[in-house]
Amino acid sequence: MRYVRQIYPFNRPAELDSEERTHVPVIIVGAGPIGMAMAVDLASHGIRSIILDDDNKVSIGSRAICWSKRALEVMDRLGCGERMLDKGVTWNLGKVFFGERKEPIYGFNMLEEKGQQFPGFINLQQYYVEEYLIEAIEKQDLTDIRWESEVIAVQQSNNGATVSVSTPAGHYELDCDYVIAADGSRSPVRKMLGFEFDGETFQDHFLIADIRMKAEFPTERWFWFDPSFNRGQSALLHKQPDDVWRLDFQLGWDIDREAELKPESVSKRIRAMLGEELEFDFEWVSIYTFQCRQMERFVHDRIIFVGDAAHLVSPFGARGANSGLQDVDNLGWKLALILNGKAPASLLQSYNDERVSAARENILNSTRATDFITPKSEFSRIFRDAALELARDFEFARRFVNSGRLSVACIHHDSKLNVADLDVFNCKLVPGSPSIDAPVKVNGSQSWFLKLIGQQFTGVYFAKDGETTLQGATALLQDSIPVKTIVISNTSETETSVVEDHKGLLQQRLDAQVGSYYLFRPDQHLVARWRKFDPHAVREAVLHATMQPASGDSA
């Protein structure tokens, strides 16, 4: 099945024929996966937005293909997770090859703990994800997506911003409270406003060839260091849906770009890798260099940067789109609370702090992987090859081998929104982590814990036997920022709305005891936890997590 790209038509906007200025809470620049996910997230909180995009179609070529577990969990909250899982190619295993040897030197598993809805990774072409998001946008009426609409100027004022738009039918202006720039690594908005994008470009070229072929390779990530078909360089093989395979060849710095891109030279490389008799078609071919860059701040008053516009990493590690979706997850609920007058604008500072630090972590990991794959000195290469030689037999050496530290959920260890533990908990989950998933039963039917929490502040209470409600929880639901409470039981209570932790995995993963209470943010990150439920402490934690002053000792 060959993918058919749809053209999304330009529709003449009312603004071109009216003297009245349109005001919308949020303008999103860029209809890529991050911009569209942002719109869907805001709409899920009841916030209207207009997306402006200078193009009229989804992305050309596979581009982002590896979607991480956390990204899928975010997309599931936005209604697209299961579709991505159904269409995507699931993989958890990676294999590393070195030199002439046909056998891998070792393999690794991305999903450490079973019993979660989403796998470590799926592979899915970016254009499918964009299509699903377009459908999610069309399903509600809070997002107005405008194609062939190029943003040519952005002006901030004290209480908002004005965006100038150029279209095939003329220019117009829009007013908004906030602009979200999701316009990619070359971000025109960032350039218009003169913000720096500091970092480095690595002196290396990589050739991506996405090809269509019938092949029986397993659905694993295969990575070669110094293989016989690409001496002195690296290579990658990865499966996508529709019999599309991602091949990635390191080329080195001194190359003839034009010559390398010729179909015959790309074909020669592919046949050397996969066999002379191979039959295949090209889907997409591209040569790129790595860059690791980030803005110093992602929030500039009324202009907020997300995704590649704010931070750029090398592709090994799949930390581009996956971190962009975590930006969306982080920003959506905060901006909604601010726009609804329920939290101060200073809450945006926490988006900045949490995601700037996440971007630093991603860039650090990406830079280290790049340095391992492309050693900068002869000595660095000797160490790398020594680690690879030891890695076949010794687990310790595998920890040094770095073909990309693949994206895992970001933990905001130092976030100001966290409430430090007063009670003792012994598990991987800490304040600032997104919750781990676990299988549960709701009204007797199989479901997943992560489907129950998030979207709003959520309390999770571990009940005594026979207990079906939590005294004081209903009142929390009436607060200005409501907290819904989920009561978890380990016994079957089919007549009530109690959630059953039938395998006991949730209790184990959260280190819960009877009476334990956990407060999660709308993005499913843990704010605070206690061994005993105290509604006053919960209210204080909600205020703390929304940058509001404590209510004082009224209890």
Which CB sits closer to another protein, 143 or 402?
402
Question: What is the smallest separation between the CB atom of 368 and another protein, expressed in angstroms?
Answer: 5
Question: What is the smallest separation between the CB atom of 373 and another protein, expressed in angstroms?
Answer: 13
Sign of CA dihedral 516, 111, 132, 324: positive
Which CB sits closer to another protein, 200 or 281?
200
φ, ψ of residue 147 in degrees (nearest 5): -85, 165
Sign of CA dihedral 185, 189, 192, 197: negative
Which secondary structure element, helix H or strand E, spans residue 525, and what is its range? Answer: none
Question: What is the smallest separation between the CB atom of 238 and another protein, expressed in angstroms?
Answer: 22
- In the complex, the residues that contact another protein under the rule CB under 8 A are 98-101, 365, 368, 371-372, 375, 377-380, 383, 385, 387-390, 392-396, 398-400, 402, 405
- Partners of residue 92 on adjacent β-strands: none
Which CB sits closer to another protein, 150 or 371?
371
Which CB sits closer to another protein, 382 or 477?
382
Which CB sits closer to another protein, 79 or 199?
199
Which CB sits closer to another protein, 25 or 317?
317
Are the beta carbons of 34 and 61 closer than 8 angstroms?
A: no
Rounded Cα gap, residues 450 and 452, in angstroms: 5
Which residue type sits at 219?
T
Which CB sits closer to another protein, 98 or 520?
98
Which secondary structure element, helix H or strand E, spans residue 210, and what is its range? Answer: strand 205-212
The SS3 call for residue 456 is strand
Question: What is the smallest separation between the CB atom of 199 and another protein, expressed in angstroms?
Answer: 17
Q: Which two tokens stand for residue 165?
A: 């738009």
Write the DSSP symbol of residue 226. Answer: S
Question: What is the smallest separation between the CB atom of 413 and another protein, expressed in angstroms?
Answer: 14
Question: What is the smallest separation between the CB atom of 171 and another protein, expressed in angstroms?
Answer: 50
- Partners of residue 526 on adjacent β-strands: 520
Instruction: Give the number of other CB atoms < 10 A from CB of residue 406.
Output: 20
HSE-CB of 343 using CA atoms within 13 angstroms: 22
Which CB sits closer to another protein, 323 or 489?
323
C-alpha closest to that of 107 among 119, 121, 93: 93
C-alpha closest to that of 385 among 234, 225, 540, 242: 225
Question: What is the smallest separation between the CB atom of 342 and another protein, expressed in angstroms?
Answer: 40
Question: What is the smallest separation between the CB atom of 434 and another protein, expressed in angstroms?
Answer: 21
